[in-house]
């Protein structure tokens, strides 16, 4: 585990009681199914397709933004994007479990956090109905206290509005909540909500982006999250 100087390094008087975790690139490696669904849509329209590595930078800001990024410039009118979004969502929903899998060590981490009495929640920019279904498929229905994705009329990450609502629903306080994710969006989300933010190095974006965003610590393996929470 790597630590970085930041506003939240001295949290020893506030034990971590809630770990709020990003989904894509943190809990689950979803990139192949996302890329396959997007490239399928592109192929249907005769648009250029993209390699998986490119999609690692297309995702992170919600599915509408992903659709905008893979759509050609002349196919980005509001009406066209709405139609493409519906097409992508249907294709992805039908194939979201083809290649997706939890990252090694994630199930063990979740069990260990529960054993320590630390609550866990999912907070993602993925559409809320998709979040619920994919988490239930891979982790069951009782692993997390709350699973929340992008919902209508709630700004997406890095806006903290959704995090505040999640914490309120769980009775959690900022001083005892840790936010974990694999991108700069996640680090900014945590900090915008007044939380310590930890970067997951196994995800889509990598150490340079997480460090530049100001991550308070970096997890090389999932159990580093437990270590950080214990020290909180």
User: Each residue of 173-200: pLDDT tens digit?
Assistant: 999 999 999 999 999 999 999 999 999 9
- The string of pLDDT tens digits covering residues 35-77 is 999 999 999 999 999 999 999 999 999 999 999 999 999 999 9
CA pair distance 50, 11, nearest whole angstrom = 43
pLDDT confidence bin for 14, thresholds 50/70/90:
confident
pLDDT at 75: 98
Q: What is the edge-to-edge ordering of all strands in the sheet holding 146-150?
A: 2-3, 217-219, 197-200, 177-181, 18-21, 119-127, 146-150
Q: What is the mean pLDDT of the chain?
A: 94
The mean per-residue pLDDT over the stretch 10-25 comes to 82
Chain centroid to Cα 164, Å, comes to: 16
Asked if pLDDT for residue 232 goes beyond 90, the answer is no
pLDDT at 8: 41
- Spatial neighbors of 216 by CB under 8 A, at least 6 apart, are 3, 4, 6, 7, 8, 9, 196, 197, 198
Burial, 15: exposed, middle or buried (Cβ in 10 Å; 0-12, 13-18, 19+)? Answer: middle
CA pair distance 87, 37, nearest whole angstrom = 9
CA pair distance 219, 113, nearest whole angstrom = 15
- The string of pLDDT tens digits covering residues 74-129 is 999 999 999 999 999 999 999 999 999 999 999 999 999 999 999 999 999 999 99
Asked if pLDDT for residue 214 goes beyond 80, the answer is yes
- Spatial neighbors of 190 by CB under 8 A, at least 6 apart, are 163, 178, 179, 181, 196, 197, 198
Buried b (16+ CB within 10 A) or exposed e, 96-133: beeebebbebbeebbebbeeeebbbbbbbbbbbebbbe
CA atoms within 13 A on the CB side of 224: 19
pLDDT at 11: 43
The values of phi and psi at residue 39, to 5°, are -70, -30
């Amino acid at each position: 585990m790597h630590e970085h100087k930041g506003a939240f390094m001295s949290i020893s008087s506030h034990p971590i009681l809630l770990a709020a975790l990003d989904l894509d690139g943190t809990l689950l490696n979803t990139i192949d199914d996302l890329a396959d669904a997007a490239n399928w849509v592109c192929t249907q329209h005769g648009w250029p397709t993209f390699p998986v590595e490119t999609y690692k930078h297309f995702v992170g800001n919600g599915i509408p933004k992903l659709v905008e990024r893979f759509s050609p410039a002349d196919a980005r009118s509001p009406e066209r994007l709405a139609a493409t979004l519906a097409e992508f969502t249907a294709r992805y929903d039908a194939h979201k479990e083809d290649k997706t899998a939890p990252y090694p060590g994630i199930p063990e981490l979740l069990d260990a956090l529960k054993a320590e009495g630390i609550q866990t929640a999912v907070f993602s920019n993925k559409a809320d109905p998709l979040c619920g279904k994919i988490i239930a498929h891979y982790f069951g229905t009782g692993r997390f206290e709350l699973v929340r994705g992008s919902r209508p009329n709630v700004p997406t990450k890095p806006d903290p509005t959704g995090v505040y609502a999640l914490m309120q629903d769980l009775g959690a306080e900022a001083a005892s909540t840790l936010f974990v994710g694999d991108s700069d969006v996640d680090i900014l989300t945590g900090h915008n909500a007044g939380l310590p933010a930890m970067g997951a190095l196994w995800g889509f974006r990598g150490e340079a982006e997480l460090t530049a965003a100001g991550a308070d610590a970096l997890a090389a393996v999932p159990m580093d999250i437990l270590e950080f929470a214990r020290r909180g």
